[in-house]
């Protein structure tokens, strides 16, 4: 394993810990048992990378070594020991989620480029790597996935990927490309929380049909910037 591969492996481990803690913390909030919390943590940490490797026809990364299973177990122990801090403070969850998201976007872009795909495909794979584990996590804990709501989540992944692309075109060293990508993702997530940035949502205005007028117009789609629920409220509160 050369220096670059070692560096990427370390990034992947740190991202795994961050995402696993975010998943286990949510499972604890939902009062899952130990096995359920471990499963949620593992799915959160490996879901995006698993889909990426399957789509790229690569060996699934966490099936090559038991390290990722062990790291998830360590993350569970950390949450159990420090549960009073991790479970009761929602900004802690936001911090771990943002770090995991950023690092996994970097890993997704790197691995996609390494097998010869173009940069636009690497941006897409980076977004999938970063966001899909959270989608599966939210589905399993019966929450509406952040990925499909107006929160700056998948958008942050895409922005980080494009910054990576820009740095490549400028001829910067690889570590600058990776750092710029990660900082962009984390910075956008922080700004979205602090300044309430959000994308418009598609909604329908429900109109009451007049029985005397069968030609009444159906409900029309519109964009709205209503506050989102679930995770957004959770992240904005201590």
pLDDT in tens, 67-87: 999 999 999 999 999 888 776
Is residue 227, in this structure, part of any structural domain at all?
Answer: no
Is residue 229, in this structure, part of any structural domain at all?
Answer: no
pLDDT in tens, 177-221: 999 999 999 999 999 888 888 888 777 676 655 555 555 555 555
Is residue 63, in this structure, part of any structural domain at all?
Answer: yes
Give me the pLDDT at residue 165, please.
Answer: 96
The region of weakest confidence among 11-15, 109-113, 115-119, 121-125 is: 11-15
Backbone φ and ψ for 55, nearest 5 degrees, come out as -70, -30
Task: Residue 91: give the domain boundaries.
Answer: 3-198
Share of the chain above pLDDT 70, in %: 84
Determine the 3-state secondary structure of 127 from DSSP.
Answer: helix
Query: Structurally, how many domains does the chain consist of?
Result: 1
Is residue 216, in this structure, part of any structural domain at all?
Answer: no
199 versus 44: the higher-pLDDT residue is 44
Is residue 204, in this structure, part of any structural domain at all?
Answer: no
Is residue 131, in this structure, part of any structural domain at all?
Answer: yes
DSSP 99-115: HHHHHHHHHHHHHHHHT
Is residue 42, in this structure, part of any structural domain at all?
Answer: yes
For 34, residues 6+ apart whose C-beta sits below 8 A from its C-beta are 76
* Segments of the chain assigned E as strands: 201-205, 220-224
Is residue 144, in this structure, part of any structural domain at all?
Answer: yes
């Amino acid at each position: 394993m050369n220096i670059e591969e070692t560096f990427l492996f370390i990034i992947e481990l740190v991202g795994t810990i961050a995402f696993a803690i975010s998943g286990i913390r949510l499972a604890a909030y939902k009062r899952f048992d130990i096995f359920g919390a471990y499963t949620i943590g593992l799915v959160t940490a490996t879901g995006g990378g698993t889909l990426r490797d399957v789509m790229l026809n690569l060996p699934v990364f966490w099936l090559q070594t038991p390290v990722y299973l062990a790291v998830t177990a360590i993350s569970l122990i950390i949450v159990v020991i420090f549960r009073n801090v991790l479970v009761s403070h929602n900004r802690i969850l936001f911090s771990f989620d943002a770090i995991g998201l950023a690092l996994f976007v970097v890993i997704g872009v790197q691995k996609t480029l390494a097998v010869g795909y173009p940069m636009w495909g690497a941006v897409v794979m980076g977004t999938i790597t970063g966001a899909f584990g959270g989608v599966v996590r939210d589905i399993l804990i019966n929450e509406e996935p952040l990925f499909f709501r107006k929160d700056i989540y998948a958008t942050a992944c895409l922005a980080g990927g494009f910054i990576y692309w820009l740095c490549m075109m400028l001829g910067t060293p690889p570590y600058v490309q990776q750092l710029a990508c990660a900082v962009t993702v984390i910075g956008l997530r922080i700004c979205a929380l602090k300044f309430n940035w959000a994308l418009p949502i598609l909604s329908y205005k429900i109109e009451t049909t007049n029985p005397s007028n069968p030609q009444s117009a159906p409900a029309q789609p519109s964009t709205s910037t209503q506050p989102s629920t679930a995770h957004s409220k959770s992240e904005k509160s201590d």
